[in-house]
């Protein structure tokens, strides 16, 4: 199986590559459209800020390539957010427009810290990404912005209100949490993605 990890000079790439290695998969870190199109699976990890990430994607032409991919595609953390239409981050940023959501900053609330950082429980997880996972699986989050719950939502988490922890549209999947930092639950989700 050929697995490609999108290289747009964003953070968190090495930990995703190591997580794949632990599953016995050697992935290619690439920004080459031909390699991305030929891969059996594509992962799109992200850490950082939406406007900078979109600027990097546009500069490399990947903003035009990624939406045309037809194989299973997994956006991780910021990589999931970038699948939406718009983000409030950076004063308002147009995204890849693959899923019909707008990304908003968590609203301040008493006793609620932003960024949302640490372990949280998945709720209403459904679909093949979550096959074999415990109903109360815990995964690791680090983010200040989130997508609302909608028809595209595969799983949700709360901080304190519900938000999309995982999404899907066609071959495009996204997880707001870090699969590569989520222990056995994250490894299972990553393996389930590779098995799609």
Q: Which residue numbers are catalytic?
A: 77, 178, 180
Q: Tokens 């999947």 map to which residue?
A: 173
Cα 142 off chain centre by = 12
Buried residues in 58-68 as b, exposed as e (16+ CB within 10 A): eebebbebbee
From residue 83, how far is each of 23, 52, 74, 150, 188 by CA, in Å? Answer: 26, 15, 10, 14, 23
Alpha carbon distance, N-terminus to C-terminus of the chain: 12
Residue 74 CB burial class (10 angstroms; 0-12, 13-18, ≥19): buried
168, 118, 111: which is closest to 139 by C-alpha?
118
Q: In a 3-state reduction of DSSP, which class is residue 54?
A: helix
Provide Rg for the chain, Cα atoms: 15
CB–CB of 155/126 below 8 Å?
A: yes
């Amino acid at each position: 199986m050929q697995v490609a990890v999108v290289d747009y000079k964003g953070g968190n790439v090495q930990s995703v590559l190591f997580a794949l290695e632990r599953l016995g998969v050697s992935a290619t870190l690439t920004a080459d459209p031909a390699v991305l199109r030929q891969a059996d699976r594509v992962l799109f990890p992200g850490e950082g800020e939406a406007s900078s990430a979109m600027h990097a994607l546009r500069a490399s032409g990947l903003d035009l390539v990624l939406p045309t991919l037809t194989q299973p595609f997994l956006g991780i953390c910021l990589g999931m957010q970038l699948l939406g239409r718009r983000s409030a981050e950076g004063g308002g940023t147009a995204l890849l427009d693959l899923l019909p959501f707008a990304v908003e900053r968590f609203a301040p609330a008493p006793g609620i810290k932003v960024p949302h950082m640490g372990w949280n429980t998945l709720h209403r997880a459904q679909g093949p990404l979550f096959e074999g996972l415990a109903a109360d699986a815990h995964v690791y989050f680090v983010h200040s912005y989130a997508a609302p719950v909608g028809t595209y939502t595969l799983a949700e988490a709360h901080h304190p209100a519900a938000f999309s922890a995982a999404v899907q549209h066609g071959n495009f999947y996204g997880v707001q949490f870090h699969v590569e930092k989520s222990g056995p639950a994250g490894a299972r989700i990553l393996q389930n993605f590779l098995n799609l």
